[in-house]
């Protein structure tokens, strides 16, 4: 059965292995199983997805070593990537959702993700015709939620934003333009890598805050060979991923406080 036009299937990207620096720091078999607040990172992401009204089904894509096979519980399904690269993970997602024309891809390292953030993002993506709809999050919202986190920020005419860990992508784009996805994904957090992709003149205008969201979308669409649209969000949890041990500690403090607040409100 294909997904409802009012919902979207989700692929959780958890294809990393033990070589990831977060996995190494915690002794976990992969980053998705590194613990925050006594639970694996991926468990927090699944909580948010399971509570979202606009999610039709959930597939978690693990790496070829299958580290999640003994950990995951329903209602999510498991799929296994054939190789360790990002492109392998995307292709496994498409194979696991054969009747889905569009898939919401979410990284497995977003412990502060909420159902409200997912519904807000999916609701914005559903009416769009772009082959890639990518989450950008207001930098002020991220800084309020996690002061000093140090996320890479772009100054646009519309305001300061940072990249999120969610994107709605078309099936055709993954199958036909997969290498472009892998290249952008690999370079997304490297200033030098972004320079080489976008060009010095473009990056200089970006650094000076002279680019608009529309100009950024146009340049990215030209590079990828498809239509790309940025979807702005005010939900910090979409952008607060875990890249290192410091991020893990910060996330642990936040989920601990959120758990305490939730218990207090129920008493």
pLDDT value for 69: 82
Q: How far is it, in rounded angstroms, from Cα 192 to Cα 188?
A: 10
Rounded mean pLDDT of 204-224? 81
Beta bridge partners of 10: 58, 104
Q: Judge whether residue 62 has pLDDT over 90.
A: yes
What are residue 3's DSSP bridge partners?
none
Euclidean distance between CA atoms 205 and 201, whole angstroms: 6
What tens digit of pLDDT does each residue of 9-25 get? 999 999 988 999 999 99
Q: Do 253 and 245 contact (CB within 8 A), yes or no?
A: no
Q: Which two tokens mark 48?
A: 């948010």
pLDDT tens string 218-260: 887 887 778 889 999 999 999 999 988 888 888 888 776 665 4
Residue 213's SS3 state is helix
Q: How many helices (H) and strands (E) does the chain have?
A: 10, 10
- Contact partners, residue 44, CB within 8 Å, separation at least 6: 36, 37, 110, 111, 112, 113, 255
Residue 84's pLDDT is what? 86
- Tell me the percentage of the chain whose pLDDT exceeds 90: 51
**What's the mean pLDDT in 189-208?**
64
Q: Are 118 and 48 in contact (CB under 8 A)?
A: yes
> What residue ranges do the domains of the chain occupy?
8-178+229-241
| CA–CA distance, 141 with 147 (Å, rounded to integer) | 10
At 256 the pLDDT is: 65
Per-residue pLDDT tens over the stretch 125-167: 999 989 999 999 999 999 888 876 667 788 888 888 988 999 9
Tell me the average pLDDT of the chain. 85
Look at 225 and 30; give whichever has higher pLDDT: 30
User: For 56-65, 79-88, 194-203, which range has the lowest pLDDT when averaged over its residues?
Assistant: 194-203
pLDDT band at 204 (very low <50, low <70, confident <90, very high): confident
Percent over 70 (pLDDT), the chain: 83
Cis peptide before 20 (omega within 30 of 0): no
Residue 19: what are its φ and ψ, rounded to 5°? Answer: -80, -15
For residues 193 and 150, the model is more confident at: 150
CA angle, 175 then 177 then 178, to 5°: 70
CATH for 8-178+229-241, options being 3.90.550.10, 3.40.50.300, 1.25.40.10, 3.90.320.10: 3.90.550.10
């Amino acid at each position: 059965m294909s997904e409802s036009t009012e919902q979207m299937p989700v692929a959780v990207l958890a294809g990393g292995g033990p070589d990831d620096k977060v996995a190494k720091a915690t002794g976990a078999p992969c980053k998705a199983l590194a613990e925050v607040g006594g639970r694996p990172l991926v468990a927090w992401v699944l909580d948010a997805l399971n509570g979202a009204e606009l999610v039709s089904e959930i597939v978690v894509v693990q790496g070829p070593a299958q580290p999640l096979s003994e950990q995951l519980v329903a209602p999510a399904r498991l799929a296994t990537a054939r190789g360790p690269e990002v492109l392998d993970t995307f292709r496994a997602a498409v194979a696991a959702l054969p009747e889905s024309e569009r898939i919401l891809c979410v990284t497995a390292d977003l412990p502060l993700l909420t159902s409200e953030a997912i519904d807000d993002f999916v609701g914005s993506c559903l009416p769009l015709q772009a082959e890639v709809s990518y989450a950008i999050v207001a930098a002020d919202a991220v800084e309020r939620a996690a002061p000093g986190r140090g996320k890479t920020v772009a100054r646009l005419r519309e305001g300061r934003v940072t990249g999120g860990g969610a994107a709605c992508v078309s099936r055709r784009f993954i199958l036909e333009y997969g290498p472009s996805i892998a290249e952008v994904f690999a370079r997304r957090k490297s200033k030098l890598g972004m320079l080489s992709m976008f060009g010095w003149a473009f990056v200089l205008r970006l650094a000076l805050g002279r680019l608009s969201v529309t100009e950024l979308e146009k340049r990215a669409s030209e590079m990828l060979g498809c239509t790309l649209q940025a979807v702005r969000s005010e939900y910090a949890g979409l952008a607060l991923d875990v890249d290192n041990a410091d991020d893990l500690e910060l996330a642990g403090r936040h989920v601990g406080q959120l758990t305490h607040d939730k218990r207090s409100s129920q008493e």
